[in-house]
Amino acid sequence: MKCKGYLAIAAFIAVMSSCGDSAPEGDKATIQEQQATAEAQGTQFTVDTADSRIRFVGHGVGKNHPGKFKLSSGTVAVANNQITGGSFTIDIKSMDLEQKGGMFDSKLRPHLMSGDFFDANKFGTAKFDITSVQPYTPNSTDTSIVDGANFRISGNFTLRDVTKNISFPARVDLDGNTLKAKSNFDIDRTQWEMRYGNDKTLGDKFISEKVNIELDLQAKKQ
């Protein structure tokens, strides 16, 4: 009985470890070439940078590396209860890794800030400019992992001086003076010329091109 108990505990630990190492799955963002920016008309909402976050998870073989970025500024325009436009600036140097101490502080973060990845000294900010916001209704072939997703947001995302248009489902709630938006999607980092480690011949040194992004934004009427 003791042997069976030890085996059960070992199996549980193995399952939990594999879950922790598995890559999070988000909605697959559509990526295309840069589009015309939407004209922001109507009431302006200012993003609350203290209560908003952009969380990311990069992953390789048997490991995940989650972290967060802060927004340095952002505005959203609303007319007739619909988002008409908006723009957000991300502070790349604000990156805060969730894994602390040791090699994460001394090696991983400096490497991510280097030219192999974000090249933060040269490109200290990233930007997202809304190009369109359309109603979104899940169906049998198009579902979102975001509970209550009601809009598909498209925008030009500029990173490392490369601009691509990305489109993803989101839940947007507008309640009087407050606007909240949530989304969870995956992008291919190589679209922004970030290719380091993306070679499966590297074995356990391989770093996936897929990066998971979680957006949790709050904005208040000016």
Q: Residue 148 — φ and ψ, nearest 5°?
A: 80, 15
Whether 9 has a pLDDT exceeding 50, the answer reads no
Q: What is the pLDDT of residue 21?
A: 52
* Distances from the Cα of 103 to the Cα of 54, 107, 108, 120, 182, angstroms: 23, 5, 6, 19, 32
d(CA 204, CA 60): 7
Q: What is the pLDDT of residue 140?
A: 87
Confidence of residue 5 (pLDDT cuts 50, 70, 90): very low
Tokens at residue 14, please?
Answer: 């193995």
Residue 12 neighbours by CB under 8 Å, 6+ apart: none
Q: What is the pLDDT of residue 203?
A: 79
CATH class of 2-221: mainly beta
DSSP code, position 161: T
Q: Mean of the pLDDT values across residues 182-190? A: 97
* The length of the chain, given as a count of residues: 222
Whether 104 has a pLDDT exceeding 50, the answer reads yes
Whether 11 has a pLDDT exceeding 70, the answer reads no
Mean pLDDT across the chain: 89
Q: What is the pLDDT of residue 28?
A: 94
For the chain, which residues make up each domain, given as ranges? Answer: 2-221
CB 112 within 8 A of CB 90: no
Q: Residue 12 — φ and ψ, nearest 5°?
A: -65, -45
Confidence of residue 92 (pLDDT cuts 50, 70, 90): very high
CB 74 within 8 A of CB 49: yes
What is the tens place of the pLDDT at every residue in 50-63?
Answer: 999 999 999 887 78
Q: How do the residues of the chain divide into helix, strand and coil, expressed in percent and rounded to 5?
A: 20, 50, 30
Positive or negative, the CA dihedral 135, 141, 146, 152 is: negative
Instruction: Give percent of the chain above pLDDT 70.
Output: 90
Q: What is the pLDDT of residue 54?
A: 97
Q: Mean of the pLDDT values across residues 209-217? A: 96
